[in-house]
Amino acid sequence: MIKAILIFNNHGKPRLSKFYEHYSEDTEQQIIRETFHLVSKRDENVCNFLEGGMLIGGSDYKLIYRHYATLYFVFCVDSSESELGILDLIQVFVETLDKCFENVCELDLIFHVDKVHNILAEMVMGGMVLETNMNEIIMQVDAQNKMEKSETFIFQSTRQDR
């Protein structure tokens, strides 16, 4: 199971937080801070696994992260997930973002956090991996976006009618 997915930048500013278990807002912020603290002080060429922090997890949980340019992608997972598998999943996630946003950068995530959530929802559901095939994910995301567009179009046209 995945317990949480966090994206934050090099300064620890959250860009996306998805917790699959309920925490209070304060605890969530603390977890983000703690995770940032743990992850940011690690060198570039060390391993991508970290024994979990105090707040999230405990002994069974691990932080698995990747660092891309200005962003950290951190997954907090328990022992039922394959470590290398999750690393691959992060890669898939980032590549999907790249495809959907066309050359994704931090700004895309800043301004369109809702879209990122929607993409993530096609990959991970309730803490379990739903889909790992990038094409399938993109197809579903596109189909939903198309639907959204058609709705706004109808809405705009009705508005113009009145």
Partner 1 sequence: MALKIVKGSIDRMFDKNLQDLVRGIRNHKEDEAKYISTCIDEIKQELKQDNIAVKANAVCKLTYLQMLGYDVSWAAFNIVEVMSSSKFTYKRIGYLAASQCFHESTDVIMLTTNQIRKDLSSPNQYDTGVALTGLSCFVTPDLARDLANDIMTLMSHTKPYIRKKAVLIMYKVFLKYPESLRPAFPRLKEKLEDPDPGVQSAAVNVICELARRNPKNYLSLAPLFFKLMTSSTNNWVLIKIIKLFGALTPLEPRLGKKLIEPLTNLIHSTSAMSLLYECVNTVIAVLISLSSGMPNHSASIQLCVQKLRILIEDSDQNLKYLGLLAMSKILKTHPKSVQSHKDLILQCLDDKDESIRLRALDLLYGMVSKKNLMEIVKKLMLHVDKAEGTTYRDELLTKIIDICSQSNYQYITNFEWYISILVELTRLEGTRHGHLIASQMLDVAIRVKAIRAFAVAQMATLLDNAHLLTGNMQRNGICEVSYAAAWICGEFSEHLENPMQTLEAMLRPKVATLPGHIQAVYVQNAAKLFATVLKSQEGNTDSTAAQETSQLMIERLPLFVQSANLEVQERASCILQLVKYIQKLQQKDVEVAEEVSALFAGELNPVAPKAQKKVPVPEGLDLDAWINEPPSESESEDEQPKAIFTKEETKHSRPRHIEVDEKELARRREARKQEQANNPFYIKASPSSQKVYQDTPGVEHIPVVQIDLSVPLKVPGLPMSDQYVKLEEERRQKERAEKKKKEKKKRKEKRSGRGKKHDSGPESEEDITPAHMVDIVTEEMPENALPSDDDDKDPNDPHKALDIDLDNLGEMAGRRPLADSEKLPVRSHRAVEAAKSPGEDGDAETVATQQPKKKSGKDKRDDKKKDKDKERKKSKDEKKKKKHKHEEKEEDLLRGEVHEPVVQSEGISQVAELPTSTSAEVSDLDFWLSNAPVPSNTQEAATVAAAEAPVAEVVSGAAQDSEPDEPKDTEMEETKSSKHKKKKQKKEKEEKEKKKKKRHHHHHRHSDGGGEESVQNGTVEEEEPLPSMSNYCLLAENSYIKMVYDIQGNLQDGSQVVVSVIFENKCDSFLKSMEFNVLDSLNSKLQRPEGSGPHDGLTVPFQLPPGVSNEARFVFTVQSIVMPQKLKGTLTFIVKNEESSTHEKLDFKLHFTCTSYLITTPCYSDAYAKLLESGDLKGSSLKLEGVNMPFHHLLARICFHHHFSVVERIDSCSSMYSRSIQGHHVCLLVKSSGQTVSIDAKCDEPTMLGNVLDEIKQTFSQC
Residues that bind partner 1 (CB under 8 A): 1, 14, 16-18, 20, 22, 24-26, 28-29, 42-43, 45-51, 80, 82-85, 87-88, 110-114, 117-118, 121, 125-133, 136, 140, 143-144, 147-148, 151-152, 155, 159, 162
**DSSP element (H, E) containing 152:** helix 134-161
Length of the chain: 162
Q: Are 105 and 120 in contact (CB under 8 A)?
A: no
Shortest CB 99 distance to partner 1, Å: 19
Shortest CB 110 distance to partner 1, Å: 6
DSSP labels for 85-135? Answer: HHHHHHHHHHHHHHHHHTS--HHHHHH-HHHHHHHHHHHEETTEE----HH
Report the distance separating Cα 32 and Cα 13, nearest Å: 9
Shortest CB 111 distance to partner 1, Å: 5
Residue with Cβ nearer partner 1 (10 or 82): 82
Residue with Cβ nearer partner 1 (10 or 29): 29
